[in-house]
């Protein structure tokens, strides 16, 4: 899932619900935020909330970060978000985490979501 535009108080609920729909899937999910122009603190907080829900559900995701997330990553370097710098890195992360049955998990296709 590729997020573009801005994430702020006006649309954070929409973005959060869209992420919740995808994060419950058994397939690994790549959230690409590298094209975001702006992310407010409520957007970053939403990612932290979804990460907690994801851990509780036992599903897998990775976030491709970009310039909009960098201020929060500097302020909160131990955020525990599963971060990578590119989609290639995200796929490699999933490929290296072969499931117990020996099959590779299928990564969900990237859909663009304008925020």
pLDDT tens for the chain, 115 residues long, are: 999 999 999 999 999 999 998 887 777 889 999 999 999 999 999 999 999 998 888 888 899 999 999 999 999 999 889 999 999 998 888 777 665 555 555 544 455 555 5
**Residue 17, pLDDT score:** 94
**Residue 22, pLDDT score:** 86
**Residue 98, pLDDT score:** 60
Name the 3-class secondary structure at 64.
Answer: strand
């Amino acid at each position: 899932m590729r997020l573009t535009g801005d994430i702020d108080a006006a649309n954070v609920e929409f973005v959060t619900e869209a992420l919740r729909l995808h994060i419950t899937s058994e397939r690994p999910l790549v959230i690409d935020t590298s094209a975001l122009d702006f992310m407010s603190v409520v957007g970053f907080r939403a990612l932290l909330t979804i990460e907690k829900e994801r851990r509780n559900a036992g599903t897998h995701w990775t976030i491709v970060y970009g310039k909009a997330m960098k201020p929060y990553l500097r302020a909160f370097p131990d955020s525990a978000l599963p971060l990578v710098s590119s989609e290639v890195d995200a796929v490699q992360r999933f490929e290296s985490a072969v499931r117990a049955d020996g099959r590779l998990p299928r990564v969900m296709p990237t859909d663009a979501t304008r925020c």
